[in-house]
Amino acid sequence: MLDIAAELHRWAEQGRDFAVATVVAVGGSAPRQPGAALAVDAEGTAIGSVSGGCVEGAVYDLCAQALQDGQPVLERFGYSDEDAFAVGLTCGGIIDILVTPVRAGDRARPVLEAALAAAARGEAVAVARIVSGPADLLGRALLVRPADAAYGGDSYEGGFGAHPELDRTVAAEAGALLDAGRTGTVEIGERGSRCGAPLTVLVESSVPPPRMIVFGAIDFASALVRVGKFLGHRVTVCDARPVFATAARFPEADEVVVEWPHRYLESTETDARTVLCVLTHDAKFDVPLLKLALRLPVAYVGAMGSRRTHLDRNERLREVGVTEAELARLRSPIGLDLGARTPEETALSIAAEIVAARRGGSGVPLTGAHTPIHHDGVAVGARRVGSAA
């Protein structure tokens, strides 16, 4: 739902009733991931997608029905075999879809509106909805902001109306998923739910774009900025040399900073999704920068240079106290082996390694390989809490 937050927020502001279908879980080679959504308003207007076309018609009908009767529904779509008129996924995957009506007067509407507004503003927010459990709890919603990740009071919005402890449990779990920027499900056992039955809760996270910080205002950096923006990053270029670090040279960058790289990294915000690309290959910049970078909890640290430069840099880093465990985090020489020569090819090589690191890919050709095409376990988590065991 939050992946189409901007459009749904406009609908909510206009007072429209609508139903939203959200992918809850996937199996096999499904076309969309949990959190993907399709919404239909009372006039029949549709936005978004849950399958890339395979089951959109059937889901549209489910949304229209939910708008009429006000009842949420969970539906599973699987493989559609040879019958060209069957409703299903030709890719052979399975998707579970939750359809939730959002109408005037519905208990969950204020919570969902607040979540949509926050996501549309680019704020970090998570919304939790019960997917399976007692019928009277379906469709209830709870909104969680980053401060709620370490739960310290009734600062979340909404709730399920079953027991305050259930709301606190879900708020803590949703906060953890939000902190990681993930969407996934949480399985809560009968004891943890406090409502006499186990529950499945979908947590959708919406977070600002991850940061990419490119150190070194060289021609390769310009190509990497373009690729980084294409992948959805907020890109910063940093270089200590003002003649090179200019907005005119990097018009696609979100910001260009003139500062010694390690000093900028000390003063700027990073998180577990941040990627750091060191293209300076100059020891006076690289060593103090990498000494700091390799101790930060970021997603990726890569450094450009030849293999000789790499070995020399590693020795310099050891001399300033960088441990072997910290050095093992360094991707150097940066990028995957694509045989890249040009700045654009090199940028593609670096971007491919960043994606592989994020998704758990091997970087080997899919042709002839026996590895999964999608590494869903890295991107989407399912947690179990409060079991009776």
Q: Which residue type occupies 381? A: G
pLDDT at 374: 62
pLDDT digits (tens, 9 = 90+) for 315-343: 999 999 999 999 999 999 999 999 999 99
pLDDT digits (tens, 9 = 90+) for 276-307: 999 998 889 999 999 999 999 999 999 999 99
Query: Residue 92 pLDDT > 80, yes or no?
Result: no
Task: Give one DSSP letter per residue of 274-333, joined into a string.
Answer: -EEEE----HHHHHHHHHHHTTS--SEEEE---HHHHHHHHHHHHHTT--HHHHTTEE-S
The answer, as to whether pTM is greater than 0.75, is no
CATH number, domain 211-359:
3.40.50.720
Measured CA to CA, the distance from residue 115 to residue 126 in angstroms comes to 7
pLDDT digits (tens, 9 = 90+) for 144-161: 988 644 434 345 777 787
pLDDT at 139: 76
| Residue-averaged pLDDT of the chain | 86
pLDDT at 190: 78
What percentage of residues in the chain have a pLDDT greater than 70?
87
Query: Residue 29 pLDDT > 70, yes or no?
Result: no
What percentage of residues in the chain have a pLDDT greater than 90?
56
Q: Looking at per-residue confidence, does 301 or 178 come out higher?
A: 301
pLDDT at 82: 46
Q: Tell me if 89 sits within 8 A of 31, measured CB to CB.
A: yes
pLDDT at 161: 72
Domains of the chain, by residue range, sit at 1-106, 109-207, 211-359
Section 119-138 average pLDDT: 88
Q: Looking at per-residue confidence, does 88 or 94 come out higher?
A: 94
pLDDT digits (tens, 9 = 90+) for 182-237: 888 888 887 777 777 888 899 999 988 899 999 999 999 999 999 999 999 999 99
pLDDT at 151: 39
Query: Residue 49 pLDDT > 80, yes or no?
Result: yes
Confidence bin at 384 (pLDDT 50/70/90)? low
Q: Picking from 11-15, 47-51, 76-80, which range would have the lowest pLDDT averaged per residue?
A: 76-80
pLDDT digits (tens, 9 = 90+) for 238-273: 999 999 999 999 999 999 999 999 999 999 999 888
Q: Tell me if 178 sits within 8 A of 119, measured CB to CB.
A: no
The CA distances from residue 307 to 87, 128, 313, 332, 348, in Å, are 54, 48, 10, 8, 19
pLDDT at 353: 96
Listed in order, strand segments (DSSP E) in the chain are 18-27, 37-41, 46-48, 73-77, 94-102, 125-132, 141-144, 157-159, 184-188, 199-206, 211-215, 234-239, 255-258, 275-278, 300-303, 330-331, 382-385
Section 81-109 average pLDDT: 71
pLDDT at 350: 97
Q: Looking at per-residue confidence, does 112 or 383 come out higher?
A: 112
The pairing of beta strand 211-215 with beta strand 157-159: unpaired
Which of 197, 234, 198 is CA-nearest to residue 214? Answer: 234
